[in-house]
Amino acid sequence: MKSYRDNATSRLIRKIHFPKNENGRTLKISEYYAENVFDFKKALGIPESVKKEMQEISLTGKLLLKEHAEMIAHAVSEWALNKGATHFCHWFQPLTGNSAEKHDSFLNFIYKNGEILPLDKLTASQLLCGGPDASSFPSGGARSTFEARGYTVWDMSSPMFITEGINGKVLCIPTAFAAPNGAALDIKTPLLRSISKISDEATRFLNLIGFPEVKHVTVNSGAEQEYFLVDKAYYNLRPDLVMCGRTLFGSLTAKNQQLEDHYFGNVNDRVLAFMQELDYELYRLGIPSKTRHNEVAPGQFEMAPFYSEANLSSDQNQLVMVIIKKIAERHDFKALLHEKPFSKINGSGKHVNWSLSDDQGNNLLELNTDANYSNSNSISEDKSSKRFLALIAIIVEAVNRHAEVLRMSVASAGNDHRLGANEAPPSIISVFLGDTLSDIFKSIANGTTSHSKNGNVNNNHNGNGNRILNLGAKQLTQLLIDNTDRNRTSPFAFTGNRFEFRAVGSSAPIGFPLSILNAAVIDVLVDSNCFIENHLTKGFSVDDAIEALISRWFKNSEKVVFNGDGYSDEWKLEAARRGLPNLINSTEAIEVLSNECKTNFLIKHGIYRADELNTRYNVLMERYHMQLKIEFATLISMVNQHVLPSVINYKLKLSKFITSLDKIYDGDKSYQTDCDNLYVKSMLQKLNNKSQSLFSKTNKLNNLIKELSLSNNHSAHTNNAINNKEITSTLLPLSQEISLLCNDLEELVAAEHWYLPKYYDMLFLS
> How confident is the model over 409-426, as pLDDT tens digits?
999 999 999 886 667 778
- d(C-alpha 182, C-alpha 179), whole Å: 5
What pLDDT is recorded for position 363? Answer: 95
Determine the average pLDDT of the residues in 384-392.
92
- d(C-alpha 89, C-alpha 210), whole Å: 46
pLDDT at 431 over 90: yes
What pLDDT is recorded for position 379? Answer: 44
- Greatest mean pLDDT among 329-343, 671-685, 752-766 lies in 329-343
pLDDT at 628 over 60: yes
Counting residues of the chain whose pLDDT is more than 70, the rounded percentage is 88
pLDDT at 41 over 50: yes
- d(C-alpha 348, C-alpha 337), whole Å: 7
- Which residues are paired to 86 by β-bridges? none
| 378 pLDDT tier (thresholds 50, 70, 90) | very low
| 765 pLDDT tier (thresholds 50, 70, 90) | confident
What pLDDT is recorded for position 445? Answer: 83
What pLDDT is recorded for position 370? Answer: 45
Q: Share the mean pLDDT of the chain.
A: 89
- d(C-alpha 650, C-alpha 647), whole Å: 5
412 vs 377, higher pLDDT: 412
- The answer to whether residues 149 and 178 touch, using CB atoms and an 8 Å cutoff, is no
pLDDT at 530 over 80: yes
What pLDDT is recorded for position 467? Answer: 65
pLDDT at 381 over 60: no
Query: Which class in CATH covers the domain with range 33-186?
Result: alpha beta
- Greatest mean pLDDT among 42-46, 193-197, 261-265 lies in 193-197
3-state DSSP assignment of residue 242: helix
Determine the average pLDDT of the residues in 698-710.
85
| 453 pLDDT tier (thresholds 50, 70, 90) | very low
pLDDT at 686 over 90: yes
124 vs 373, higher pLDDT: 124
Least confident of 405-409, 493-497, 584-588, 714-718: 714-718
Counting residues of the chain whose pLDDT is more than 90, the rounded percentage is 70
Count of all residues that appear for the chain in the document: 766
The answer to whether the predicted template modeling score (pTM) of the entire model surpasses 0.85 is yes
422 vs 98, higher pLDDT: 98
What pLDDT is recorded for position 376? Answer: 40
Determine the average pLDDT of the residues in 497-526.
97
Among candidates 243, 229, 227, which has minimal Cα distance to 332? 229
- d(C-alpha 204, C-alpha 189), whole Å: 23
- d(C-alpha 742, C-alpha 107), whole Å: 56
Domain 623-764, CATH number (from 3.30.930.10, 1.20.120.1560, 3.30.9.10, 3.40.50.300): 1.20.120.1560
- d(C-alpha 88, C-alpha 279), whole Å: 24
- d(C-alpha 68, C-alpha 72), whole Å: 6
What pLDDT is recorded for position 336? Answer: 98
| 663 pLDDT tier (thresholds 50, 70, 90) | confident
Determine the average pLDDT of the residues in 648-670.
80
What pLDDT is recorded for position 444? Answer: 86
First to last CA, the chain: 14
Q: Which residues of 291-302 are buried (b: 16+ CB within 10 A; e: fewer)?
A: ebebbbbbbbbb
Determine the average pLDDT of the residues in 13-28.
93
Determine the average pLDDT of the residues in 192-211.
97
pLDDT in tens, 58-95: 888 788 888 999 999 999 999 999 999 999 999 999 99
Q: With 0-12 CB in 10 A as exposed, 13-18 as middle and 19+ as buried, what is 404?
A: buried
Least confident of 292-301, 676-685, 733-742: 676-685
What pLDDT is recorded for position 373? Answer: 39
What pLDDT is recorded for position 474? Answer: 60
**Segment holding 154, helix H or strand E:** strand 151-154
- The answer to whether residues 99 and 318 touch, using CB atoms and an 8 Å cutoff, is yes
- The answer to whether residues 495 and 366 touch, using CB atoms and an 8 Å cutoff, is no
Determine the average pLDDT of the residues in 244-248.
97
487 vs 95, higher pLDDT: 95
Least confident of 184-193, 705-714, 752-761: 705-714
pLDDT at 399 over 70: yes
Cβ count within 10 A of residue 596: 10
| 492 pLDDT tier (thresholds 50, 70, 90) | very high
Cβ count within 10 A of residue 265: 12
697's CB contacts (< 8 A; 6+ apart) are: 734, 737, 738, 741
pLDDT at 457 over 50: no
What pLDDT is recorded for position 476? Answer: 63
Determine the average pLDDT of the residues in 360-384.
64
- Please state the three-class secondary structure of 272-296 as a single string: HHHHHHHHHHHHHCCCCEEEEEECC
640 vs 114, higher pLDDT: 640
Least confident of 34-38, 446-450, 650-654, 694-698: 446-450
pLDDT at 538 over 80: yes
Domain 1-25+225-348, CATH number (from 2.140.10.30, 3.30.70.360, 3.30.590.10, 3.40.50.300): 3.30.590.10
| 517 pLDDT tier (thresholds 50, 70, 90) | very high
Domain-wise residue ranges, the chain: 1-25+225-348, 33-186, 192-224+350-606, 623-764
| 710 pLDDT tier (thresholds 50, 70, 90) | very low
pLDDT in tens, 566-576: 988 899 999 99
